[in-house]
Copies of this chain bind each other. A is one copy, B any other.
Amino acid sequence: MQLITVAEYLFRRLAELGIKDIIGVPGDFNLDLVELLEHDQRFQWIGECNELNASYAADGYAREHGISALVTTYGPGELSAVNGVAGAYAEHIPLIKITGGIALAKQAKNLPLHHTLLNGAYDQSFKIYQQITCAAEILNFDNPGAQIDRLIESCYQQKRPVYLQFPQDLVTHLIAPPQAKLNLITSTTTEQTSKITKLIEQINAQLTTAKKVVILVGELVERYHLQTLVQQFLQNSGVSYVVSWGAKGTVDESHPQFAGMYAGCFSSQEVQDYVENADCVLALGWLYCEINSGTFSTKLDSARLIALNLDDGTISGENYLDIPFTPLVESLCHSNLKLASYPRSFAANYAIDPEQLSSQIEHDNLIYRLSQFLQSDDTLILETGTIAFTSGYYTLPHGCKIVSSVNWFSIGYALGATTGISLAKNSGRTILVVGDGSLQMTVQALSTQLRYGLKPIILVLNNSGYTIERIFLGKNSSYNDIQEWNYLRLPAAFAGEAYTRQVSTDKGLVEALNDTKLHANQLCLIEVMMDKYKQPPALQKLADIVAKMKK
């Protein structure tokens, strides 16, 4: 048998996953690995300016492609990526975090090496990553191929990041090549299969006796690539469906059965009433979290709720455990139910009357103009901050989706993720809306986008600081201010060509968005001047709830 290096073993697996871009930062403990990547035609190395941005880019790449690989060096490098990987964990993003580690032979000598904490241990990073991954291993000489497979399979099946530390002396160590394809499908035990049959019977019984059924599609449907199957199921069922705040664009929102976005008090009153008055709500892969629940304002009592979550859920008020998500949803979708449709008369989408738009740019202008601008296959990325609180309200053409960090809410994420999404997208535009404070967090990502010829359309909302915080505390406090940059000068400082324009009126916004069509071969950076205090309605609702709780 022709032996291969452990590096080649990993690379074959990454290629098998269709990963073409390896995102990372070089450093002395990963140079051997990165040098091999450099000369490997299967991959393109994407060198980021720093590891946090690299982790965000890898998150974005995984959201678009289905999985991603992030390479950093041991110690400082990997520890700069902790927040990004933790976010991927919270948001169910499968990301393979690869650390070039200290050679095992070197570790055995117990020397006070650089990039270590000088306390005699080499495993602190490993222990740190155990907290924010679903599996973590340091490769060793016993069976590194099996370790790699185990990690990648966990990553893909659980849709969570994994940590793979690759000690230098394993890189060119020879092992047998993979003997079979990766097992990417969660295996279901006989016991689980028979449990699924029973659960489906229960679900069907509840659904078919209900008179007013609504289906709520959550973000995990997309994470598990079940959109097409679920869309078919929705249409067969004949009932109205809503999407969660974080699942905007997961299924067809231009379809007549689409009834809107449901997130408790963040929804329109009609949608909220409609969903909460149903006698059965079937929630598929709904991530129950603060934003999706409209700050815990959803009223879905468990007797009327069928919730199929990752490994557990609720049917007729009873909880079940240890049933993998995919086979359960597949079985349900294949059961081809015709359900009792529940009439409704309201508009599915958030209604904005263009005649009522302000001439200055407010959040409704952005929602309306971007909704008009979006096309099938576009990805709209909304950064945490005020703009995140608009994400439930866009009218999306079929095939267009919104990406946001629905629960981790790390500012700086979106500009970094834009790099990975742009890299991984095969068609359609990448459109980012980011606040000024957020952009400052990870501004180097713009340089990476320019370096690799990526062409996102970026709207920077210049509202003079952390506007989202001003509603909660410190309306005029200096800590909510930032240094007010000349944002349009950034591309030139980063030595890149870009279309740039500052707009402060609705008219200017429309023109600038149109201009991007003439500059489709360039990165477009539009600075949108906005009021320092104005908040989108959902955020106002949240602030009211928080204020009430404080009393």
Contact = CB atoms under 8 A, between A and B. Distances in A.
Contacts of A480: 26
Contacts of A146: none
A451 B465 CA distance: 13
A28 B112 contact: no
21 contacts: A28-B469, A31-B469, A34-B474, A34-B477, A34-B479, A35-B474, A38-B478, A76-B409, A79-B83, A80-B83, A89-B119, A114-B409, A115-B409, A117-B408, A127-B131, A451-B483, A483-B494, A484-B495, A486-B492, A489-B493, A490-B493
Interface SS, A side: loop
A489 to B, nearest CB: 4
Contact of A83 (B76, B87, B114, B442): B76
Contact of A35 (B26, B111, B477): B477
Given A38-B479, A486-B495, 12 more contacts: A27-B469, A32-B473, A34-B474, A34-B477, A37-B479, A76-B87, A79-B132, A113-B289, A113-B290, A115-B408, A486-B493, A486-B494
Contacts of A412: 50, 80
Interface in A87-128: 87, 89-90, 111-119, 124, 127-128
A11 to B, nearest CB: 15
B483 A496 contact: yes
A287 interface: yes
A147 interface: no
Contacts of A486: 492-495
Nearest to A481: B47
A38 B483 CA distance: 17
Give chain A's interface residue range (CB within 8 Å of chain B).
35 or more
A443 interface: yes
A440 interface: yes
Given A492-B489, A495-B484, A50 B289 contact: no
Contacts of A410: 75-77, 80
A448 interface: yes
Contacts of A138: none
B26 A469 contact: yes
B479 A45 contact: yes
A38 B474 contact: yes
A4 to B, nearest CB: 21
Contacts of A290: 111-114
Contact of A440 (B35, B87, B447): B447
B112 A479 contact: no
A443 to B, nearest CB: 6
A49 B440 contact: yes
Contacts of A115: 407-409
Number of copies: 2
Contacts of A45: 478-479
Interface string A13-49: 0000000000000111001101101100000010101
Contacts of A496: 483
A483 B448 contact: yes
Residue from A117, A451, A479 whose CB has the most chain B CB atoms within 10 Å: A479
Interface in A443-496: 443-444, 447-448, 450-451, 466, 469, 472-474, 477-487, 489-490, 492-496
Given A45-B479, A447-B485, A289 B117 contact: no
A288 interface: yes
Contact of A26 (B77, B114, B466): B466
Residue from A86, A296, A478, A487 whose CB has the most chain B CB atoms within 10 Å: A86
Nearest to A115: B409
A289 to B, nearest CB: 5
A128 B466 CA distance: 27
B118 A472 contact: no
Nearest to A488: B493
A421 interface: no
A30 to B, nearest CB: 9
A480 B442 CA distance: 21
Interface string A398-439: 000000000111111000000000000000000000000000
A477 B38 contact: yes
Given A28-B472, A473-B31, A112 B289 contact: yes
A431 B312 CA distance: 58
A243 to B, nearest CB: 19
A522 to B, nearest CB: 16
